[in-house]
Structure 1
Amino acid sequence: MSQRKADGMELTSDALVNSLLALGAAALLATLWLWPRLARQRPLPVIGRIGLMTVTQVSVLAVMALSVNNSFGFYTSWDDLLNPGGAKLALTSNENHHGGAPASDGLIQPSNEGGMEGVTDLPKGPPEEVGKIESVQVSGKETGLSDQMFVYLPPEYFDPKLAMVRFPVLLAISGFPGTSLNLMKDLPVPQTSWELRKAGKMAPAIIVMARPTVAPPRNTECVDVPGGARTESWFAKDVPDALRATYRVSRSASSWGVLGFSTGGSCAMRLAMRYPEVFASGVGMHGDFKVAEDQFTGGSLFGGDKGLADQSDLNWRLQHLPAPNLSLMVMNSRTEGGFPETLKFVELARRVSETNPQFKVESLYLDDGGHNFESWTRELPAALEWMSARLAWN
């Protein structure tokens, strides 16, 4: 797939880690070689010993910190690390009917962030043959939030015969504290989509890959935090508006779906249940059914307001509110700790669907597997194939 290359020394790049490893090794060798010469107690030898030890230890600590960051995705770029409260991008609209890089004055702007250059198994070829993945910065009018995402445009998007066609959209959300890169590097969403397309099991769709943590480091669980980040409005309002203003995407909810794993799975089910007028289908892979209260959320995201918490509790919604016009797929492993809660929700959802045919729920369970990328990768082909069958062309 055609893609934009990022700079070699991006925060998440292997080149930076390798450079620091080389620096640390060089500092260690220099220490071993120079130590006898610096053994005297004069000021300059003492300063030299301190300097060599400092360089060695800082290099080792930096490599460890980068490795942890690259694994968990706390920060995706230097700007994300050094300037988290930086100026937002220009909030003007742009309609781009021809594909390619979005215009620089739109809600979606080109970005060199994300670490896409480290993904080596994307199909190679021109956009009209294998599609294209763009790294973009998305800005929201409603919330003022801004974040990096990847947008996969299928080959058909570049077909002149389809120049006036609007495409269905799948929003894929990673787990916490992951990044959009997890949806290519660890869970191969566009790669699997491409294989399903070649096998005739998936129709063309635009895939948007995002992380749930728009306001790090707190896990906001894709909800609007009173007095804080409005992550739910970001995904339900700002992101669809920005995509419609930039790409040829359908405006009908029947053509929009949301999928996620772990925290992203919780987000996907909650967004679909709360906003069926935006997302008419959703897939939750190993997600929860109510908003967590733990060290990552900093306790109650709703400030202890039970009414707000209930609105985001999927079991409560099924018991107290009208059933939504929605197709929902719930995935999990029979050996995962949260599996009993999954069974409880699916049983309740099926009882509701018996008297509310507009609400459809299905489930798919692995016989074994944990809360990890190996399990989610096994589930991904079925999840994408199921979603594709429900994304309407209109």
Structure 2
Amino acid sequence: MGLTSNKVLVLAVLFAVLLFVGTVWLWPRLARRTWRAVGGRVGLLLATQLALFACAGLAANQAFGFYASWADLFGQENSQGVVVDNSARGRTGGPLQVVGTQQMRLGDGGRPRIAGQIQKVDIVGRTTRIATPAFIYLPPEYFQPQYRTRTFPAAVVLTGYPGTAQALISKLHYPRTARELAGDGRMQPMILVMLRPTVAPPRDTECVDIPGGPQTETFFAKDLPDAVVAHYRVARKPGSWGIVGNSTGGYCALKLAMHHPEVYAAGAGLSPYYKAPIDPTTGDLFQGQQQLRNRADLRWSIKHLPAPDTSLLVTSSKVGESNYKATLRFIDEVRATNRTRISSIILDSGGHNFNTWRREIPATLQWMGARLGDH
């Protein structure tokens, strides 16, 4: 029986109920002060509590889709995702300040020329005045003399909500994966700009320009690229920038690539959704303006607005992801445009969690690297 099976949940509940009934029935017999009686009472209470926690965990996993299988739960699901092409036809910048550096411990050592470097930066948007921290991964080639005049393609990498930018490094291993892929010749060297989509915390802005509120879409479409281009050897020419994210970050990545194809030549959504939610974490994002609400609905946009000249990648799982059917519909709707290019990674099994995204990231970075210009 699978982890997400209703039978597993029902059996766990029955087991917890039996333990509770057994505890009530046996408690008078264990009322003595002998060490065996005390040990029996402690064992029954502990077993009952563990059974209740197991029930709660299984119910939460079914509700939110954290893990799709027992192998997924215990980190044993490690088969890599494969990109399938679903296309119909087969220096004026904002302020950026480096506040710290982190050496990459890869290959033959930690020197930037060999392993690359991660820089922690603070960014303030010139037009939106949004301030946010970020991490910048610079590949080894950035520091090598033969590449001193070269500009590099760049990819913005977004977490989910609330998420932490550090998790992109320590949990999802974006820099390490990019370094290994480039070192093996499977991807061109690329700069990664890693941050949260939550640039106006604690509010979840869903990368929307909120009327009278944070202009987060403008920040990602203009201020962020301007700031990075002004500080690093990154090209601003069409085709130089991509964007990728998971969950909320995946929705943002797709939306920004669709709304701003002149900036982002490729957008990849790992386990994305396709419509901005309205809940206590977001507040009223659109202030009653239906036009803004429609524009933030990616499926509405692809059917009613001019198709953008960009490349999109979406991922899901047949078992474990709630967005599977919506993802298939989105693929069909994009294909019908004959202009926007669409690819996908569909796993047989994988929940909405880090382990699943780690399986998809190598293929995603290769896909993106192949679509960004080398200058």
- Does the 8 Å contact 1:93/1:107 carry over to 2? no
Once residues 351 and 279 of structure 2 are traced to their aligned partners in structure 1, the CA distance between those partners, rounded to angstroms, is 20
Whichever residue aligns with residue 388 of structure 1, its letter is G
Structure 1 residue corresponding to 2:132, chosen from 147, 151, 172: 147
SS of the aligned residue for 1:333 comes to strand
Structure 1 residue corresponding to 2:172, chosen from 187, 208, 219: 187
Tell me what 2:98 maps to: 110
Shift of 1:111: 2.0
Once residues 130 and 122 of structure 1 are traced to their aligned partners in structure 2, the CA distance between those partners, rounded to angstroms, is 5
Once residues 160 and 331 of structure 1 are traced to their aligned partners in structure 2, the CA distance between those partners, rounded to angstroms, is 38
Tell me what 1:377 maps to: 358
Tell me what 1:222 maps to: 207
Tell me what 1:289 maps to: 274
Identity of aligned residues (%): 46
Structure 1 residue corresponding to 2:327, chosen from 327, 331, 342: 342
SS of the aligned residue for 1:152 comes to strand
Shift of 1:185: 1.3
- The two structures, once aligned, show a CA RMSD in angstroms of 1.9
Matched, 1:202 2:187: yes
- Does the 8 Å contact 1:148/1:210 carry over to 2? yes
Matched, 1:176 2:158: no
Shift of 1:110: 1.8
Matched, 1:328 2:312: yes
Structure 2 residue corresponding to 1:301, chosen from 261, 278, 285: 285
Whichever residue aligns with residue 126 of structure 1, its letter is R
Whichever residue aligns with residue 256 of structure 1, its letter is W
List aligned pairs for 1:98-137, cutoff 5 A.
Answer: 107-112=95-100, 124-137=109-122
- Does the 8 Å contact 1:111/1:148 carry over to 2? no
Structure 1 residue corresponding to 2:256, chosen from 266, 271, 276: 271
- Does the 8 Å contact 2:99/2:120 carry over to 1? yes
Tell me what 1:388 maps to: 369
Structure 1 residue corresponding to 2:150, chosen from 159, 165, 171: 165
Whichever residue aligns with residue 292 of structure 2, its letter is L
SS of the aligned residue for 1:151 comes to strand
- Does the 8 Å contact 1:140/1:146 carry over to 2? yes
Structure 2 residue runs without a partner (length 5+):
1-90
SS of the aligned residue for 2:360 comes to helix
Shift of 1:188: 0.7
List aligned pairs for 1:26-41, cutoff 5 A.
Answer: none
C-alpha deviations, 1:263-292, integer Å up to 9, x for none? 000000000000000001111101111111
Once residues 136 and 194 of structure 1 are traced to their aligned partners in structure 2, the CA distance between those partners, rounded to angstroms, is 20
SS of the aligned residue for 2:333 comes to helix
- Does the 8 Å contact 2:104/2:110 carry over to 1? no
Once residues 332 and 137 of structure 2 are traced to their aligned partners in structure 1, the CA distance between those partners, rounded to angstroms, is 35
The change in CA–CA distance for 1:377 and 1:164 in structure 2 (over 3 A counts) is same
Whichever residue aligns with residue 204 of structure 2, its letter is N
SS of the aligned residue for 1:254 comes to coil
Whichever residue aligns with residue 370 of structure 2, its letter is A
The change in CA–CA distance for 1:230 and 1:167 in structure 2 (over 3 A counts) is same
Tell me what 2:11 maps to: none
- Does the 8 Å contact 2:240/2:372 carry over to 1? yes
Shift of 1:120: 8.8
Shift of 1:253: 2.5
- Does the 8 Å contact 1:151/1:208 carry over to 2? yes
Structure with more contact order per residue of length (Cα contacts < 8 Å, sep ≥ 6): 2
Tell me what 2:227 maps to: 242
Tell me what 1:366 maps to: 347
Tell me what 1:316 maps to: 300
Give the TM-score taking structure 1 as reference length.
0.69
Give the TM-score taking structure 2 as reference length.
0.72
Shift of 1:159: 1.7
List aligned pairs for 1:12-31, cutoff 5 A.
Answer: none
Once residues 104 and 184 of structure 2 are traced to their aligned partners in structure 1, the CA distance between those partners, rounded to angstroms, is 22
Structure 1 residue runs without a partner (length 5+):
1-91, 95-105
Give the aligned length.
283
Once residues 120 and 128 of structure 1 are traced to their aligned partners in structure 2, the CA distance between those partners, rounded to angstroms, is 10
Once residues 301 and 308 of structure 1 are traced to their aligned partners in structure 2, the CA distance between those partners, rounded to angstroms, is 9
Once residues 326 and 143 of structure 2 are traced to their aligned partners in structure 1, the CA distance between those partners, rounded to angstroms, is 44
- Does the 8 Å contact 1:93/1:246 carry over to 2? no
Whichever residue aligns with residue 318 of structure 1, its letter is I
- Does the 8 Å contact 2:268/2:314 carry over to 1? yes
Whichever residue aligns with residue 379 of structure 1, its letter is E
Whichever residue aligns with residue 214 of structure 1, its letter is V
